[in-house]
Amino acid sequence: MILSDARIRQALRDRAIVIRPFRRACLGTNSYDVHLGPYLAVYDGPALDARRPNPTREFRIPREGFVLIPGQLYLGVTEEYTETHGFVPFLEGKSSVGRLGIDIHSTAGKGDEGFCNYWTLEMSVKLPVRIYAGMPVGQLIYFEISGRVDRSYAAKSSAKYREISRHPTPSRMYLNFAGSRRPSGARRRR
């Protein structure tokens, strides 16, 4: 079942859901609107490799906005930090964003119980679109869990996205391959 606004408010009071910053006006009937953070990143190489870390180039979205172009994958990040305990969060794009031809995630719309971080967005567009930091970009929907959770995402040693960051996090798929190690400095900031 999807949590209603009243259940989301109760979960916020109980700290089963944490949203920072929290804006009352962003709470919908059964969802919470999240906003685009100030950073975008693009991969540097001509081809990505699932077995290796892929360096990115990160930049701040200028005040006048930034035009996303078709054929380019952009990694964005939510302005909001979230925690979810005892529920499963889903991030979906807002309909107004979809009507501009912006996809905010390729495949990663479902979060895990115990996820505590900013959300990285895998953004792509159908047509060139100017976007702005702080614009509403998606909505979080929370689902009840049936049954006991034996191991929360926050407790999994194999969880690849536990390090809290206000910056877009590139794929860490390479950590799934045997013998891989976590390299330092896979991201380059500008």
Residues with a known catalytic role: 122
Torsion of CA 50, 52, 54, 55, to 10 degrees: 170
User: Cα–Cα distance between 80 and 84 in angstroms, integer?
Assistant: 13
Comparing C-alpha atoms, which of 98, 94, 56, 54 is closest to residue 78?
A: 94
**147 to 87, 136, 170, 183: CA distances (angstroms):** 11, 33, 32, 37
User: Cα–Cα distance between 64 and 71 in angstroms, integer?
Assistant: 22
User: Cα–Cα distance between 119 and 169 in angstroms, integer?
Assistant: 9
Comparing C-alpha atoms, which of 69, 18, 56 is closest to residue 169?
A: 56
